[in-house]
């Protein structure tokens, strides 16, 4: 019976020990994406998809066309 109670009894860990165990999660940095516009040779380097120049290109040429311009 004492073994059953030990299993059912919650284990309490002091807050200070929990704080020491906590590991800060770090976010992986985004990769740089390069786009080259073939008609005029302009290059856009970005880590995000909402880059201003890419938005202009998407409005002018369409998103599928601009996606095909990705070099790396």
Q: How far is CA 27 from the centre of its chain?
A: 7
Residue 27 within a domain: no
> Per the structure block, which two tokens stand in for 62?
């369409």
Please say whether the beta carbons of 69 and 38 come within 8 A: yes
Residue 55 within a domain: yes
| Percent of the chain topping pLDDT 90 | 49
Instruction: Tell me the pTM.
Output: 0.60
Q: What is the pLDDT of residues 18-36, one digit of tens each?
A: 677 666 667 788 899 999 9
The domain tally of the chain equals 1
Q: Which domain holds residue 62?
A: 33-67
pLDDT computed for residue 54 by the predictor: 92
CA distance 54 to 63: 9
Residue 24 within a domain: no
């Amino acid at each position: 019976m004492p073994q059953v109670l030990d299993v059912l009894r919650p284990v309490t860990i002091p807050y200070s020990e929990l704080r020491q165990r906590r590991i800060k999660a770090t976010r992986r940095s985004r990769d740089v994406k390069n786009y080259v516009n073939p008609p005029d040779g302009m290059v856009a380097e970005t880590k995000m998809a909402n880059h201003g120049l890419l938005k202009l290109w998407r409005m002018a040429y369409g998103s599928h066309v601009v996606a095909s311009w990705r070099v790396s």
